[in-house]
Amino acid sequence: MANWETVEVTTDLLICGGGMSACGAAVEAAYWAKKNGLNVIMVDKATPTRSGAVAMGLSAINEYIGYSKDENTCEDYINYVRQDLMGIARDDLVFNIARHVDSSVHLFEKWGLPIWTDENGKYVREGRWQVMINGESYKVIVAEAAINAMSEAGFEIYERVFIVGPIMDGDRVAGAYGFSTRDEKFYVFKAKAVMATMGGAVHVFRPRSVGEGLGRSWYPPFNSGSSTYFTVMAGAEMTCQEVRFIPVRFKDAYGPVGAWFLLFKSRATSAEGGEYMAVRKEELSNWAPYGLVKPIPANLRNYLGMLDTDAGLGPLYMETAEAIQNLAEAYKDDKKAFKKKMKELESEAWEDFLDMTVSQSILWAAHNIQPESSRSEIAACEPYFIGSHSGASGAWVSGPDDIETPYKWGYGNMTTVQGLFTAGDGSGASSHKFSSGSHAEGRYAAKQAIKFVLENNTQPNVGDLDAIKEACFKPMDLFDANKGYTTDPDINPSYIRPMQFMYRLQKIMDEYAGGVSSAFKTSKSLLERGLELLAMLKEDADKLAAENSYELERCWENVHRMCQAEAHVRTMLFREETRWPGYYFRADTPKMDEDNWKCFVNCTYKDGEWEFVKRDVVPL
Ligand code: FAD
């Protein structure tokens, strides 16, 4: 066993992760914990000021209801989310986030985030729900507030500590274990309640980018399925594990399209110029009622573009030049005003990328693309697991404490495991919370977690952790014991290095579970074969080897990804219909089946076996 020092830390509430939901949790928990004489600890594998999906910044806050300004109601938002998820959403959770989200946005502004306002001081909307921001430093601002709240309360934040998994005391969570990626330290965090807020998962599927570009994906590479692994291994019921997200984005650098569609009113077309949303409109009636209501669900919009690609009409394009010209048209009689407007639109186009996807600007420059005079390629990305965005995978959590809901068994946002809470990408069936909603949900969940601690104020037993420590460091021991047997450390019959392991996982998922190279299509037979190959990969996970702490992190990231992969494949297999074409298409059950499958599919992993159950969708 690697001879690393064991550090034991005891707390009341442990927040795993340092992203949007964890930062929301920290702000709220610090307040309530201090007031009640409790302690809180936050642990991030990176550093909260630049960790998680918002690390690079964003150009819009995607959920802002504006109910105090009579712009929208929470009910409007519930209807929008349920519709976008083809009928499968938890209204109670979506409502709970919607009613709290505006206050998170107001806090962001108070903390220093520049939100665009018009001449009347009103937030500039990108679409109905989004507000535009100068967001390069969005995460820094949100994290600073969390760090300040924690430090003012005297609570600690552990950075560069990778959480591997949960520690259990029977059916109750007792803490978490992990290791430092900088110092030789094994950490045991003992807690009365835990929040698993470690984001979603990327690189489960083979990305379009290969070789040196491997890390380039729409979803930043930092999140590797740790929320899923943590909750699954704790024995929590999971939901919507089949609902992956595939965004259509500017090709290869994954630049955002929201501003183009919503703000610039751009069209997306095939190479031949047909606008697939118009040309293929009839197809939408096959997915009624969801296909016939505006806004059309994101997966169906994807699907119409994919039909063009399947028909050989690709590449697909965003008509940026046309959109800019259309917007400047109103100024065409005044040459000077026209020129000024064109310049303004051009700079907004570039800023959209510079705010959150700098590499897209570099790619535009490298490809000689000038948005005001040439169109730009778009494509469907590889699949991701991001339940806070337009996917829905996550843990099945108890509904809000103060409203009537059939989904209630404990404290709000608590999983089916005592003391284990989650939010953001960690909680399922409540999509479209985005950055702001994840923050708001984190705040709510943390307040409930503190209540749980106050009412269950005993320190659970963590038992003997020698076996856990040994398993945690096994990859390093395996490498050390066998590295001398071959001249090239990459090739060794006694172990597999994490990069090669990840390639294998991605190949299985890509080819059998409906990745890019299989045009997002799969079937019962493909999924069953995929499971056979995953079983062999699982066996080989025991032979993962790590040369140093960074590789150890890569090993465990892959184990987490593999867990997400298996939950996904098994759930797609269980659901015998196609409900989200454009995200995945089951070629053997190509139609939506409202009579039998308008339900949540939930799964639990216990004693090495997966159990599946259908749960009713009950609209509020
Ligand atoms: P994250 O914010 O991703 O945080 C996850 C945290 O967990 C990170 O701190 C990470 O370091 C940590 N972590 C992961 N694994 C471990 C581990 N094993 N141990 C310890 N720590 C760990 N929202 C908007 O409002 N507007 C937008 O324009 C927008 N655009 C987006 C564009 C992209 C490309 C993406 C990916 C997301 C976008 N979103 C947007 C959505 C928003 O980023 C997410 O909804 C939000 O970040 C989810 O919050 P979270 O806390 O669940 O995860």
Is residue 471, in this structure, part of any structural domain at all?
Answer: yes
Q: Report how many domains make up the chain.
A: 2
Nearest one of 504, 505, 481, 503 to 493, comparing CA atoms = 481
Q: Is 370 in the same domain as 489?
A: no
Is 218 a residue of the active site? yes
Cα 533–Cα 179–Cα 451 angle in degrees, nearest 5: 100
CATH no. for residue 330? Answer: 3.90.700.10
Q: Is residue 441 part of a domain?
A: no
pLDDT, mean of each 10-residue run, the chain (620 residues): 89 98 98 98 98 93 94 97 98 98 98 96 94 94 98 98 98 98 96 98 95 88 96 98 97 90 92 96 98 96 98 97 91 90 88 85 94 94 97 98 94 98 98 98 98 98 93 97 94 96 98 97 98 98 97 98 98 98 98 98 96 96
223 CA distance to ligand 1 middle (Å): 8
Q: Please confirm, yes or no, whether 70 is among the known catalytic residues.
A: no
Q: Can you read off the two tokens belonging to residue 13?
A: 């509430």
Best residue among 81, 139, 389 to mutate for probing ligand 1, ranked by most atoms within 8 Å of CB: 389
Assess whether the C-beta atom of 558 lies below 6 angstroms from ligand 1: no
Pairing mode, strands 521-522 and 268-269: unpaired
Q: Is residue 455 part of a domain?
A: no
> Both 371 and 473 in a single domain?
no
Say if residues 392 and 431 touch (Cβ distance below 8 Å): yes
Residues 475 and 358 occupy one common structural domain: no
d(CA 52, ligand 1 centre) in Å: 4
Check pocket membership of 22 for ligand 1, CB cut-off 6 A.
Answer: yes
Show which of 357, 380, 403 is a domain's final residue: 380
Both tokens assigned to 320: 């940026």
**Is 364 a member of any domain?**
yes
Return the structure tokens found at 481.
């014991």
CB-based contact 157:18 (threshold 8 Å): yes
HEC string of 35-46 equals HCCCCEEEECCC
- Looking at residue 254, its pLDDT comes to 93
Does residue 407 contact residue 346 with C-beta atoms inside 8 Å? Answer: no
Residue 135 in domain: no
Q: What is the pLDDT of residue 349?
A: 86
**DSSP H/E element including 277:** helix 276-279
Active site residue 435: yes
Let me know if residue 252 belongs to a domain.
Answer: yes
For residue 502, the enclosing domain spans 465-606
Interatomic CA distance for residues 446 and 204, integer angstroms: 29
pTM passes above 0.95: yes
Q: How far is CA 473 from CA 314, 492, 552, in A?
A: 48, 19, 8
DSSP output for 186-219 = EEEEE-SEEEE----B-SSSPPS--GGGTT--SS
Residue 91 is assigned to a structural domain of this protein? no
**Which residues, including other chains, have CB under 8 Å from residue 327's CB and lie 6 or more apart?**
264, 265, 341, 345
3-state DSSP of 12-24: CEEEECCCHHHHH
Give the domain CATH number at 519: 1.20.58.100
Between CA 484 and CA 546 the distance in angstroms is 14
Pair 474, 362 in one domain: no
Ligand 1 atom closest to the CA of 164, numbered from 1: 18
Domain boundary among 365, 380, 395: 380
Residue 599 and residue 475 share a domain: yes
Whether 126 is catalytic is yes
Q: Are residues 372 and 479 in the same domain?
A: no
Same domain, 469 and 365: no
Examine the domain organization and report whether 375 and 482 are in the same domain. no
Structure confidence at residue 369 (pLDDT): 94
472 and 580 inside one domain: yes
pLDDT of residue 28: 98
One domain, residues 470 and 574: yes
Residue nearest to atom 30 of ligand 1 (CA): 58
Q: Give the active site residue among 90, 206, 244, 389.
A: 389
Is 249 labeled as catalytic in the residue annotation? yes
Last residue of a domain, one of 380, 405, 428: 380
CA gap 169, 314 in Å, rounded: 55
Residue 54 beta carbon below 6 angstroms from any ligand 1 atom: yes
At 37, list the tokens: 């004489």
Provide the token pair at 433.
Answer: 């919370």
Supply the DSSP string of 41-84, one letter for each residue.
Answer: EEE-SS-GGG-STTTT--SEE-----GGGTS--HHHHHHHHHHH
pLDDT value at residue 1: 61
Ligand 1 pocket, residue 385 CB under 6 Å: no
Q: How far apart are CA 61 and CA 433, in angstroms?
A: 10
Q: Is any atom of ligand 1 closer than 6 Å to the C-beta of 162?
A: yes
- In the DSSP assignment, the letter for residue 124 is P
Residue 430 beta carbon below 6 angstroms from any ligand 1 atom: no
Residue 296 falls inside a structural domain: yes
Q: Are both 375 and 473 inside the same structural domain? A: no
Q: Which of 51, 59, 62, 549 is catalytic?
A: 62
If you take atom 37 of ligand 1, which residue's CA is the nearest one?
53
Same domain, 499 and 599: yes
- CA 232/CA 422 separation, integer angstroms: 12
Please, what is the end-to-end C-alpha distance for the chain in angstroms?
Answer: 53
